[in-house]
Chain A
Amino acid sequence: MAILDGKVPGGTIEQIWDDHKFHMKLVNPANKRKHKVIVVGTGLAGASAAASLGELGYNVSAFCVHESPRRAHSVAAQGGINSAKNYKNDGDSVYRLFYDTVKGGDFRAREANVYRLAQVSTQIIDHCVAQGVPLAREYGGLLSNRSFGGAQVSRTFYARGQTGQQLLIGAYQAMMRQVDKGQVKLFNRREMLDLVVVNGQARGIVVRNLATGAIESHEADAVILATGGYSNVFFLSTNAMACAVTGAWRAYKRGAYFANPCFTQIHPTCIPVSGELQSKLTLMSESLRNDGRVWVPKTKGDKRPANQIPDSERDYYLERVYPSFGNLAPRDVASRQAKYRVDEGLGVGPTGKAVYLDFRDAIQRLGKKAVQEKYGNLFEMYEKITGENPYETPMRMYPAPHYTMGGLWVDYNLMSNIPGLFVAGEANFSDHGANRLGASALMQGLADGYFVVPYTISNYIASTKIEKVATTHDAFKEAENNVRAQITQLMGIKGNRSVDSFHKQLGHIMWEYCGMARNEKGLTAALTEIPKLRDEFWQNVRIPGDANYVNTELEKANRVADFLEQGELMCLDALERKESCGGHFRDEYQTPDGEAMRDDANFCHVAAWEWGGTANKKPTRHTEELKFENVKLATRSYK
């Protein structure tokens, strides 16, 4: 076990990034074109990094699993993006955004990273507007803001319920401009299946061309992974179907450390599960909690239609328990409270696993038209899925896996412990600690891609001896053989069960034992069940068809094979973190009123795991100490 160094430069928190930018080495403009950078993933972090590096003059190769980079899952983010603009004159500042984010993350993020995130948040909005991103505006023509969970200021910029889509299209168009100029080369329908490390440096990737089945090698001077999060380990989540841990996991198996895998976010407002055949869950933006009120009946088994239950018999439990934040309590807190109500038998709807999110009062106060203007598309989506009209009857909501704060360990420069391997966006672990605040994911993805990685990559390239490497190098051959061998093995099993059936079973284990609440007994059980399931997968999975062309079952099998390993690491991490913090809630460590109880004496650190060499060998737990010199360690309270 080693103590990791986050390599945060010295200085006061306000000055660190500016000083660091000055001290970092630069690559001469004429030399940039001699350097190649691989970007894996074209969501907000990947597309913005590819665009910015292309603008700087690097030769960029961008890879996405989709047919088009515009389809990356960032597109689905609804609510908004935070920025410390203080356009509302309501007391916001870079320091307050920094403070809120550190506190919201329950003191498990690196202070200097979070401060930098808050600093560049203002540039992000400027840049996106310049790109033509049509953010919401007031009648005077200036930008509009709204408040979001966990904050008492209105700092969230938005584009109706489609903020992610609009920001992604902005980044995608910026990247396509570089494709047009020949600075970025686009490789679509490619899935990264291995990282190539030469002389200890990340020098390339091996991908499978999903349209032809071909295995291809690509070399570069540095590799950026922007491959998103791993919520799909739960099978049912709000993530898109192709979201996977595979890119990050294959890097982990080549030596990159995986940090805080147990820090997962269960989003409080999602449409509840309806049946076994359901393929995914749909989130309803947190912005709905600005005007919607969350409640359950006060009496168990109250089966009256919601509208017939009078106010006196409703428990608006978030307003009751957290009078100062009310319905805007942070996600982990709101989710846990919903779980408590359902566990108490007060849940609503056919399954009893839901709470109400009610717009009756907002419609009375603001009028139906104003509510429609704000949330129209979300209400429509709800009605399409459930067949119920939320203008007339309250929405039914239940928490669902949504975002993963954990990810590959990176230092202040967003570089992993493998030199030359950078990790951006949700795929890294750095900024959100144990719980992410609403409207912070889009901010972090774009901060990393537009404003951080382009600087730190230049520094790496300028200060590192990087020898010429071709894809004929043995390390590439070895990685290709590794990928081919796994595919051959998977195709050769010819068992009796579909990939999905394994994925669903894993999802049940994860949700049961490593979901909203965890305990030693459950986690220990999961650590026996997962390896068993993994063994069965490798003996009994059935993948029809041919590996040498489009094979969607093979694609899923590659991803589920990784989830079957990563799920185990999540449970191990959750077991060893003997405290509750943010989204990681251990039943054994709670205050008398059911709030998370941190153990700062023993767990004020990042846990970064090192692959043991095989799936059945225990990985090594390294730590990075977290120091809170600006935001003082305190118990989080939203009461």
Chain B
Amino acid sequence: MGGTHSQNINLKLKVWRQKSAKDQGAFVEYDAPNVSTDASFLEMLDQVNEKLVQAGQEPIVFDHDCREGICGSCGFMINGNAHGPQKHTTVCQLHMRQFKDGETLVLEPWRAKAFPVIKDLMVDREAFDRVIKSGGYISVDTGNAQDANNIPVPKPDADEAFASATCIGCGACVASCKNASAMLFVGAKVSHLALLPQGQVERAERVHRMVTQMDAEGFGACTTTGACSAACPKGISLSNIARMNRELLVGTLTKKEAAEGDGI
């Protein structure tokens, strides 16, 4: 679109190709000629893949689905940046007008022990689901709820909870962290639920369980460099990590007190 400024550029790609989890993998070079600057990054890859298929070769595999920046499926490193150079943008929403004619782009999958490569740029992020499974919810069965307006929620709290809840679970935070830490992802969910009145009952237990699972998955520790938040396509704030740490500390103390109060 942008019709008036549209032009075509030529690019070189160095793409990580890896047949399977067991395969060693290597970079392979491809030409991407005549790319419209109105195309999205994934449409550029579609164009490269169409040629590979025509030539009877296997296309470059990457996860993708909504192509609107909301499902969280897509994501890989472009020249060392998760989702590429544009701030607050998933790779599916990244458009080729961000690149210059003649550039070479290096495409690599997320690199993290907890995210093993399945094929090429596609990785396994099920660890995130297992973290959510371990308490990332409010326990309410269908049909139990009172009227939605019975509990007013101050707008600032609701807005902050919403901001944390906009995480799309893409994994860019982990991929950008030198320790492959998942603290931003986990912190965002802990914050979302801890900020709401409905989330209070399970607050201490939730953070404890989620952090335990996060550690078990092999994610690294946080050294608060902020690389995660800088790479996050949804701009999830670093303060989510601070809140998670506070929740964990307070949760641990209150749990201990409760245990002592029970005379255990």
B29 in the interface, Cβ–Cβ < 8 Å? Answer: no
CA distance A136 to B199 in the complex (A): 17
Residues of B contacting A: mostly? loop
CA distance A55 to B143 in the complex (A): 11
Are B143 and A123 in contact (CB-based, < 8 A)?
yes
The smallest C-beta distance from A307 to any residue of chain B, in angstroms, reads 14
CA distance A280 to B70 in the complex (A): 14
List chain B residues, Cβ under 8 A from A277.
Answer: 36, 39, 43, 46-47
Are B65 and A71 in contact (CB-based, < 8 A)?
yes
CA distance A351 to B2 in the complex (A): 11
Are A180 and B138 in contact (CB-based, < 8 A)?
no
CB within 8 A of B136: which of A135, A173, A186? Answer: A173
A100 in the interface, Cβ–Cβ < 8 Å? Answer: no
Are A73 and B66 in contact (CB-based, < 8 A)?
yes
Are A275 and B38 in contact (CB-based, < 8 A)?
yes
CA distance A160 to B118 in the complex (A): 35
Stretch at the interface among A125-133, A311-319, A481-489: A125-133
Are A174 and B89 in contact (CB-based, < 8 A)?
no
List chain A residues, Cβ under 8 A from B95.
Answer: 384-385, 387
CB within 8 A of B54: which of A131, A132, A384, A498? Answer: A498
The smallest C-beta distance from B236 to any residue of chain A, in angstroms, reads 13
Stretch at the interface among A5-13, A469-477, A545-553, A627-635: A545-553
A159 in the interface, Cβ–Cβ < 8 Å? Answer: yes
CB within 8 A of A131: which of B42, B69, B198? Answer: B198
By beta carbon, the residue of chain A nearest B140 is A130
Are A279 and B40 in contact (CB-based, < 8 A)?
yes
List chain B residues, Cβ under 8 A from A384.
Answer: 69, 86, 89, 93-95
Are B162 and A160 in contact (CB-based, < 8 A)?
yes
- How does the 8 Å CB contact mask read for A241-252 relative to B, with 1 for contact and 0 for none? 110000000000
B153 in the interface, Cβ–Cβ < 8 Å? Answer: yes
List chain A residues, Cβ under 8 A from B59.
Answer: 544, 552-553
CB within 8 A of A51: which of B142, B151, B152? Answer: B142
The size of the chain A interface, using a CB distance under 8 A, is 91
B224 in the interface, Cβ–Cβ < 8 Å? Answer: no
A107 in the interface, Cβ–Cβ < 8 Å? Answer: no
B196 in the interface, Cβ–Cβ < 8 Å? Answer: yes
CA distance A499 to B125 in the complex (A): 28
CB within 8 A of A127: which of B119, B140, B155? Answer: B140
A-facing residues in B138-158 (Cβ within 8 Å):
138-149, 151-155, 158
A142 in the interface, Cβ–Cβ < 8 Å? Answer: yes
Question: With contacts A177-B137, A387-B1, A498-B54 known, is A132 near B39, CB below 8 A?
Answer: no
CA distance A550 to B118 in the complex (A): 8
A215 in the interface, Cβ–Cβ < 8 Å? Answer: no
List chain A residues, Cβ under 8 A from B142.
Answer: 48, 51-52, 55, 127, 174, 450-451, 454
A512 in the interface, Cβ–Cβ < 8 Å? Answer: no
- How does the 8 Å CB contact mask read for B59-103 relative to A, with 1 for contact and 0 for none? 101011111111111000000000000101100011101000000
CB within 8 A of A387: which of B2, B50, B68? Answer: B2
B-facing residues in A248-301 (Cβ within 8 Å):
271-272, 274-275, 277-280, 282-283
Are B39 and A71 in contact (CB-based, < 8 A)?
no
CA distance A514 to B175 in the complex (A): 45
Are B72 and A70 in contact (CB-based, < 8 A)?
yes
Are A180 and B133 in contact (CB-based, < 8 A)?
yes
List chain A residues, Cβ under 8 A from B42.
Answer: 279
A146 in the interface, Cβ–Cβ < 8 Å? Answer: no
B193 in the interface, Cβ–Cβ < 8 Å? Answer: yes
List chain B residues, Cβ under 8 A from A351.
Answer: 3
B192 in the interface, Cβ–Cβ < 8 Å? Answer: yes
The size of the chain B interface, using a CB distance under 8 A, is 87
CA distance A165 to B169 in the complex (A): 11
A-facing residues in B228-253 (Cβ within 8 Å):
none
Are B65 and A73 in contact (CB-based, < 8 A)?
yes
Are B138 and A241 in contact (CB-based, < 8 A)?
no
Are A544 and B72 in contact (CB-based, < 8 A)?
no
The smallest C-beta distance from A246 to any residue of chain B, in angstroms, reads 15
The smallest C-beta distance from B89 to any residue of chain A, in angstroms, reads 6
B4 in the interface, Cβ–Cβ < 8 Å? Answer: yes
Question: With contacts A241-B67, A274-B3 known, is A498 near B154, CB below 8 A?
Answer: no
Are B71 and A132 in contact (CB-based, < 8 A)?
no
Are A140 and B152 in contact (CB-based, < 8 A)?
yes
A615 in the interface, Cβ–Cβ < 8 Å? Answer: no
B-facing residues in A184-205 (Cβ within 8 Å):
186, 188
Question: With contacts A132-B198, A277-B47 known, is A76 near B70, CB below 8 A?
Answer: yes
Are B162 and A66 in contact (CB-based, < 8 A)?
no
The smallest C-beta distance from A508 to any residue of chain B, in angstroms, reads 17
CA distance A143 to B149 in the complex (A): 7
List chain A residues, Cβ under 8 A from B139.
Answer: 177
List chain B residues, Cβ under 8 A from A136.
Answer: 158, 162
CA distance A169 to B128 in the complex (A): 13
Are B154 and A141 in contact (CB-based, < 8 A)?
yes
Can you give 9 contacting A-B residue pairs, CB < 8 Å? A67-B124, A126-B147, A127-B140, A127-B142, A132-B138, A132-B161, A132-B193, A137-B159, A384-B94
8 nearest A-B pairs in the assembled complex, by CB-CB distance: A141-B152, A350-B3, A387-B2, A173-B137, A130-B145, A126-B145, A134-B162, A129-B148
Name A's B-contacting residues (CB within 8 A).
48, 51-52, 55, 66-73, 75-76, 85, 87, 123, 125-132, 134-143, 159-160, 162, 164-166, 169, 172-174, 176-177, 179-180, 186, 188, 211, 240-242, 271-272, 274-275, 277-280, 282-283, 349-351, 380-381, 384-388, 396, 450-451, 454, 496, 498-501, 542, 544-545, 549-550, 552-553
* Known pairs A70-B169, A132-B192, A134-B159 / 11 extra A-B pairs, C-beta < 8 Å: A136-B158, A137-B159, A165-B168, A274-B1, A278-B39, A279-B67, A381-B69, A384-B86, A384-B95, A450-B142, A544-B57
Name B's A-contacting residues (CB within 8 A).
1-6, 19-20, 36, 38-40, 42-43, 46-47, 50, 52-54, 56-59, 61, 63-73, 86, 88-89, 93-95, 97, 118-119, 122, 124-126, 128-129, 132-149, 151-155, 158-159, 161-162, 165-166, 168-169, 192-193, 196, 198-199
